[in-house]
Structure 1
Amino acid sequence: MAPTPVHFFSHGSTMMLGEESQSADYWKKCGDEALANGIKGVVIMGAHWASNDDAIEVATNPEPQKSPVAYVHPSKYKDYALKPDVATGHRCVDLLSAAGFNARANPGFNWIHDTYLILIRMFPGGCPPTTIVSMNPRYDPHYHMRVGAALRPLREQGYLLLGSGGAVHNLYRNVWDPMIKYGDNFAQTTPPGPWALEFRQSVEDVLSRGGGPGLRRRVTRLMKHPLFRDAHATDDHFMALCFVSGAVGALEDQGQPGVLAAEDWELTNMCNSQFTIGTWSASSTTVR
């Protein structure tokens, strides 16, 4: 079958689970399209789980719990049934090991909001079979790009690959008062900082040029951007984008369009940009 599209989603603050937004609407649209095209499951790399040593892990807990979510009423997530895809998790370990990674299954991992927040918004009617892949704690962009490349064959077998991170995600430079005092994560009492606007534009410029080998070079090079450290005080939320660049960065992906489909600013300086690279095949049913 034709390779599935790949998504890079900026999951933002925990309040993105409970508040309506352009991003939430787009996540739902992407979920509807995935179901209409009969996906077998989801393979996702988030930003909040890295292995404890120089390895990469894949979640294989058959009955995972959910980590609590701050600033969101438990009714928004507590009763949502997770559906871990243990068999595909082991397949991912095999693919990664064959590509030369020190990869292993983690049968005790409990899911974190960076992944199930997205799943709840994409698939409110029920979680599809899902596999979660960890980061490596060295946060090497080329390493995480290669992880996506190693798992790219799953796209041709009906799996939806996505990264859940952040386009501009520096918690130290956010303006937290409106959220803490008033529960308003979208308040913009002042414009975003120039550093945030500039790096956000650079991310769009890189992804809007579409898939293929050039995407891998462009994304990994963003870590050398003079404003990268302003936009990402830590590297974790950027690794999901590196993973995506590998998953849709093969020669066969050349010419696949990259689209910025939705965006919300939170906490003044956090930019939640939602990107899709690639399309569903023209012969498939697509939700409009």
Structure 2
Amino acid sequence: MGLTPVHFFSHGSTMMLGGETESADYWKKCGDAALANGVKGVIMMHVHSPSEQGAHWDANGDRIEVATNPNPGKSPVAYVSPEKYVDYKLVPDIATGKRCVEILRAEGFNASENDKFDWIHDTYLILIRMFPGGCPPTTIVSMNARFDPHYHMKVGSSLRQLRKEGYLLIGTGGAVHNLYRNKWMPMIRFSDNLAQETPPEPWALEFRQAVEDVISHNSGPNLRRGITRLMKHPQYRDAHATDDHFMAAMFVAGAAGDEEDSGTYGKLCAETWELTNMCNSQFTIGAWGQPVRATS
């Protein structure tokens, strides 16, 4: 089968579920390609969590969790009609979730199952747009609350072996995602998240370009080094007030930055600016049927 591609998807605001955008079109294209190639399942690193678990699903201490709720609920999505998501049937892949826990434990992680976890928009928003005809078996992996980039990169590296079995690995987060610096008024007053009344601010443009440069010009272990180095970029804290949405990029670099991945460069395949300063860049590294590169 070779290696499956890896996606770093910027999910953006909740309104990306209902709106027609270049990003949504690309998500659908990726879903169609996955189905055409017999995808076995989807494995996603998840950012958000239901409110009772805090602002994000981040395991405390040194822990990481994998969702194994057989019938997960969906948290409500603001500014989007319920008809867009309420009836969409989620298909959690319990067996693969348990296997992911075993793989992570074997790699030294304090990993465990979470059989109570409900899903929120950053995962099922992507799944609905990718697979409108039905959700494939999906495994959700949490972050760790310490936001150590090397930790999350190792999570991706540990689960990378599943790419050779037909699983599609996705990090869902954000290239430029600072909620404190967005311009919310058009969305609040007019339900228009795409109104760009003014251009994005220089810090957003600068960091967005840095992310594209790293992903498109680095491969293999150099990709891992480049993505990690972005957290030291002068505009990183402007672009990410909190680290959570960038940990998905670490997961992706781990999953697509092995020696076997050397020579396979990522591509910026779609992009949607919203709320003036939020840049939803959609990256793909690799392609379906890509042969496994021999390493010395």
CA distance in 2, matches of 1:219, 1:282: 22
2:236 paired residue number: 228
- Name the amino acid aligned to 2:154: R
Residue 72 of structure 1 corresponds to which residue in structure 2? 80
Q: Is the 8 A contact 2:218 2:226 kept in 1?
A: no
8 Å Cα contact 1:43/1:131 also seen in 2: yes
TM-score by length of 1: 0.97
1:81 and 2:57 correspond: no
* Aligned-residue offset at 1:257: 2.5
1:64 CA displacement: 0.4
Instruction: Give the structure 2 partner of residue 156 of structure 1.
Output: 164
Q: In the TM superposition, what are the counterparts of 1:173-252 in structure 2 within 5 Å?
A: 173-252=181-260
* Residue 45 (structure 1) aligned with residue 45 (structure 2): yes
Q: Does the CA-based 8 Å contact 2:60-2:146 persist in structure 1?
A: no
Residue 279 of structure 1, CA deviation: 1.1
- Equivalent positions of 1:28-177 (< 5 A) are 28-48=28-48, 49-177=57-185
- What code does the residue aligned with 1:59 have? A
Match in the other structure for 2:54: none
Deviation at 1:210, TM superposition (A): 4.5
Distance 1:210 1:68, change over 3 A: same
The residue type paired with residue 219 of structure 1 is I
**Number of equivalent positions:** 283
CA distance in 2, matches of 1:280, 1:118: 19
Q: Where does the alignment leave 5 or more consecutive residues of structure 1 unmatched?
A: 284-288
- Residues 67 and 113, structure 2, Cα contact 8 Å, conserved in 1: yes
Note if contact 2:43-2:167 (Cα within 8 Å) is conserved in structure 1: yes
Q: CA deviation at 1:211?
A: 3.0
CA contact (8 A) 1:210 1:277 kept: no
Identity of aligned residues (%): 73
Structure 2, unaligned stretches of length 5 or more? Answer: 49-56, 292-296
RMSD: 1.0
| 1-structure distance, mates of 2:112, 2:228 | 25
The answer to which of 208-217 and 175-184 deviates more is 208-217
Match of 1:286 in 2: none
The 1-side partners of 2:106 and 2:178 are apart by 35
CA contact (8 A) 1:151 1:247 kept: yes
How far did residue 282 of structure 1 move? 6.4
**Aligned partners of 2:71, 2:60: CA distance in 1, in Å?**
21
Alpha-carbon distance in structure 2 between the residues aligned to 1:242 and 1:205: 15
How far apart, CA to CA, are the structure 2 residues paired with 1:63 and 1:51?
21
With over 3 angstroms needed to count, the CA separation of the structure-2 counterparts of 1:252 and 1:126, relative to structure 1, is same
CA–CA distance in structure 2, aligned partners of residues 209 and 160 of structure 1: 22
> Which ranges of 4 or more aligned residues in structure 1 deviate by more than 3 Å?
none
Q: What is the one-letter code of the residue matched to 2:117?
A: F
C-alpha distance in 2 between matches for 1:42 and 1:211: 23
Corresponding residue of 2:53:
none
Mapped to 2, the partners of 1:121 and 1:137 lie a distance apart of 28
Structure 1 counterpart SS, 2:187: helix
Given that 1:9 and 1:165 are in contact with CA atoms closer than 8 Å, whether structure 2 keeps it comes out as yes
1:51 CA displacement? 1.5
Q: Deviations over 1:202-226 (max 9, x none)?
A: 0000111253111000001111111
Structure 1 residue 280, shift from structure 2 partner: 1.4
* Structure-2 change in CA distance of 1:126 and 1:210 (3 Å): farther
Distance between the aligned counterparts of 2:199 and 2:235, measured in 1?
Answer: 18
Amino acid corresponding to residue 27 of structure 2 in structure 1: W
Secondary structure of 1:208 counterpart = helix
1:16 alignment partner in structure 2: 16
Does the aligned pair in 1 maintain the 2:3–2:290 contact within 8 Å?
no
TM value normalised by structure 2: 0.94
